[in-house]
Structure 1
Amino acid sequence: MLKKRILLLSEGFGAGHTQAAYALSSSLRKLSPHIQTKVLELGSFLNPKMAPLIVSAYRKTVTSQPRLMGYVYRHQKSFNRLTTLALHRIFYTHTQNIVKQLKPDIIVCTHFIPSAVVSRLKRLDPAFKVPLITVITDYDAHATWISPEVDRYLVSAPEVKAKLRRRSVAAARIQVTGMPVHPSFWEHPGKEGILQHFSLQDMPTVMVMGGGWGMMNDEVVNEALAGWREKVQIVFCLGTNEKLLRQMQEDPRYSHPNISLIGFTREIDKLMEISDLLVTKPGGMTCSEGLAKGIPMLFHHPLPGQEEENCRYFTAAGLGEPIASLDVIDKWMERLLYSYDDVQARRKSHLKEIARFHPLQSAQSIIDMLEQSW
């Protein structure tokens, strides 16, 4: 039996979109031996010299001018004709050739730019019949995700489906599947081996994340957390931010047996498993990974746009809380120290509540659609 081919397209604007693509790839292959997957960050693949420069410029804009990014997010209703044409010509003129070469049976996009490009290809070429699935990787449904050529939207929550419906997307084209986090985040191995692996203590533990780009660089928040180092274990995960990692390694405030400084790692699932509280930027994937682990979250300075919407969603659902002041940190540290059993009980209860979001649900929906086209 010939293997069915699934092409997963993402972009490098933040780590979450590509993480979602690889999580889907892993889940799809786990569900069926008759599926072959290929993950591409389309811009990087087609323009390996230009793409890193554009991603770097985007990263600098996000960090230095967040209000500008928020304004663009709120006021960009959709890709206008000129923007779509520019993306098509500058980045993706060879996309059609890639599709012809790889011959996928389904295309899955975890970022709105490749989704827009594939949609345009379908619109311009009547012979382009490959089904298109778009996976929305935040807890919001911005208009740039939406195109008539998308055959199916996979979304994280009923609230996101409702937002798509308000934008006139037919209910039959939307499925609520939960976020496609890697299956390992739904596993709950014993803590002892993980603690030993990372040389950590069995004590109340706070995990601090800044996303794949390591943007958790608020010295006030970090120092406030470090002030509890005598009683609480703190694990700072700094991603690819090597500069911040070196700065903190040289700072005596973070030189303590109960403080661990970790750079890029592929074992975030293990660190979340042994942590009792997650302090993070509210990126869609990181929050979803925390959701799968049942860990309570504190949100650090959400960027205007998607992160603000993610923060609102998780706060309203009682799954997290923004750090409105340092009092929030103190409140949670005291909970870990003096109400630890209650925190653990709430986590167990939460894990039961989210069991409906099966770790392979997104992948299964793709397979179901694939089978319909056989």
Structure 2
Amino acid sequence: MPRCDIPDDLRPIGPPRGGRITIVSASVGAGHDGAADALALRLEADGFLVDRHDFLDLLPARLGRLLAGVYHRLLTSAPSGYQRIYAATERSGSPGPVVRALLRGAERRTLRAVGARSQAVVSTYPLASQVLGALRRDGRLGVPAFTYLTDFSVHPLWVAPGIDAHLAAHPVPAEQAAALGAAGVRVTGPVTGPRFAAADEAERRDARDLFGLPQDAPLALLVAGSWGVGPVRESAAEIRDSAAAEPVIVCGRNTALAERLRADGFRYVHEWIGDMPRLMHACDVLVQNAGGLTSLEAFAGGLPVASYRCIPGHGQTNAAALDEAGLAVWIRTPQDLTPVLSDLVKGPLGERQRAAGLALMSPDPGPAAVIAAAALPQPQVGRRRHLAVSRGKLAAATLTAALSLGVGAPLAHAYASDGGRLPRLAHSLVERCEL
């Protein structure tokens, strides 16, 4: 089936009504799902029905949860090893044979998830983009396929041949994607939830009362993603000792971290926060270590952002990209923490970054409008017959892939260059049998 070419000057002609769009995300942290949530809200407001799928559930033999779990353990227990693996896959530019075999095993489930009635499909996760691009390239997926780049830096695995358009929040990630050969690169601006907006002084004071925060002290909101990873305790102590701001710490779902911080004597420690817009209203600056969705939400709320003690891999590359864009200063040493935080809280640097962040949030048309405008009226999804797989082969492939895969994309290069028997066996089994 022919592809749908998306012109560079595409603009929506008005709010579409009555169609269906599929979004494929992944519950790896909260950033990919958060971006999918925001896109879904905008598309539903334009009259579309939105189907949501977690790519981890589309991988064969329940290996998606294993992938996420091992990735989590690497970030928390072996960050230097993860940095080396991330850098290696960045140089290689493509998944290794084990990951390619695993992704091939997800193709039939992904086609079924998209279904016959979707007018377009959107990925907010790089491995999902790889599968959708392959389906689009060989004609089995007959509707436009988009990648919404949730990161400010673009790892090569975000760029999937066959994807119709790669949507970027800013020219910096757009230029990176284009340099990697991405098709249909478009700067659409970011998408965040509608409640992330700038607050006036009355809203700020109400928010501080709501969370039991002091009215007159400068407050630094310290975040570490939904998993609470990275050297958070060190960052919190250094912010407190800087005297530039009092730390307000969000640990996500890391209950153990929250307990340790309370034992350390920190007064304002939270676990998962359901009302992050109000907590942002209460604070004067955001300090983050991963450069994901929370940074974009802070920009929407007029909150200056600093990157500090960033986690390996995407945390550091995102910090560099945000710094290049003039949106979030990257504080590289503890000695720079006090003067930079002071400037962000009440100096010209903070004013510049607030203005830049708010300006970023008002592009035309926005990613949801681009996706809506390109949706096709009647998609048809082709089917391909596949070999059945016996229970014995399924068990063997599951075990082999689990042992060989590790964390998926970041470890693919290491396994691909290993030359061992397990990667070759996993590749052979999953390639022959769509699990």
CA contact (8 A) 2:286 2:298 kept: yes
Cα distance in 2, alignment partners of residues 312 and 87 from structure 1: 30
Deviations 1:320-373 (A, max 9, x none): 33332222222245447xx73656644554455435436x71111111112788
Q: Name the CA shift for 1:356/1:143 in 2 (closer, same or farther; >3 Å).
A: same
CA contact (8 A) 2:143 2:376 kept: no
| One-letter identity of the residue aligned with 1:84 | R
Q: Name the CA shift for 1:134/1:334 in 2 (closer, same or farther; >3 Å).
A: closer
| One-letter identity of the residue aligned with 1:123 | R
Deviations 1:52-85 (A, max 9, x none): 3321111112231232333334223123555322
Partner of 1:327: 335
Partner of 2:416: none
- Identity, % of aligned positions: 22
Of residues 254, 276, 288 in structure 1, which corresponds to 2:284? Answer: 276
Structure label with greater radius of gyration: 2
Cα distance in 2, alignment partners of residues 182 and 162 from structure 1: 26
Partner of 1:224: 238
Partner of 1:94: 109
- 1:1-374 equivalence runs, <5 A: 3-30=18-45, 32=46, 34-44=47-57, 50-63=63-76, 64=78, 65-80=81-96, 83-89=99-105, 91-100=106-115, 103-124=117-138, 126-170=139-183, 173-188=184-199, 190-203=203-216, 204-227=218-241, 232-251=245-264, 253-254=265-266, 259-335=267-343, 340=346, 342=348, 345-346=351-352, 349-350=355-356, 353-354=359-360, 356-357=362-363, 361-370=366-375
The structure, 1 or 2, with the larger RCO (C-alpha pairs under 8 Å, 6+ apart) is 2
Cα displacement (A) at 1:129: 0.5
Cα displacement (A) at 1:216: 4.2
State the secondary structure of the residue aligned to 1:223.
Answer: helix
CA contact (8 A) 1:11 1:113 kept: no
Q: Name the CA shift for 1:267/1:157 in 2 (closer, same or farther; >3 Å).
A: same
CA contact (8 A) 1:6 1:37 kept: yes
Structure 1 runs not aligned, ≥5 long:
none
**What is the root-mean-square deviation in Å for CA atoms of aligned residues?**
2.8
State the secondary structure of the residue aligned to 1:273.
Answer: helix
CA contact (8 A) 1:209 1:278 kept: yes
CA contact (8 A) 1:235 1:261 kept: yes
Q: Aligned pairs, how many?
A: 358
TM-score of the two chains, using structure 1 as the length reference: 0.85
Cα distance in 2, alignment partners of residues 219 and 305 from structure 1: 20
Structure 2 runs not aligned, ≥5 long:
1-15, 380-435
Q: Name the CA shift for 1:9/1:309 in 2 (closer, same or farther; >3 Å).
A: same
Cα displacement (A) at 1:106: 0.8
CA contact (8 A) 2:220 2:283 kept: yes
